[in-house]
Amino acid sequence: MSRITSKDTRPELAVRRALYSQGVRYRVHVSDLPGKPDIAIKKHKLVIEVKGCFWHGHMNCLDGHIPKTNSKFWKNKISKNQERDHKNKEKLELLGYTVHCIWECEVKQQRKLNYFIKIIVEYLGTKVDEKNV
């Protein structure tokens, strides 16, 4: 588990690359916001969380299952992650932020990633460059 990183994961980098190609500028892992969100756009009070399916217990996802060995430990760990995510989301919303979440499995599917980026870009009020999505 020492090799597991919480920052700059492949799905997170893919989302950041796609946002940047659309001209969206952002900050990463902002320490003065609850939970140090993956991507934050303070000007628009927008936070984007890129969640790993296994680590955050994505329902109905092949990667979001509980391992058969040491399952009690993993259930506890994943439920604590979900509780922490929920609390951080509530804190951010109290600060006036809109929180969007994209799952690792959605990032892997280019069509879903493109749709997510289109929603974010439209939320920010800019035009979508179809060539770069």
pTM, full prediction: 0.86
CA distance 36 to 106: 22
pLDDT, one tens digit per residue, over 66-107 is 889 999 999 999 999 999 999 999 999 999 999 999 999 999
**CB-based contacts of 2, cutoff 8 Å, min separation 6:** none
Whether pLDDT at 132 is above 60: no
Out of 3.40.50.300, 3.40.960.10, 3.40.50.150, 1.10.10.410, the CATH code matching 10-124 is 3.40.960.10
Residue 12 burial by Cβ neighbours in a 10 Å radius (0-12, 13-18, 19+): buried
Cβ(90)–Cβ(82) below 8 Å: no
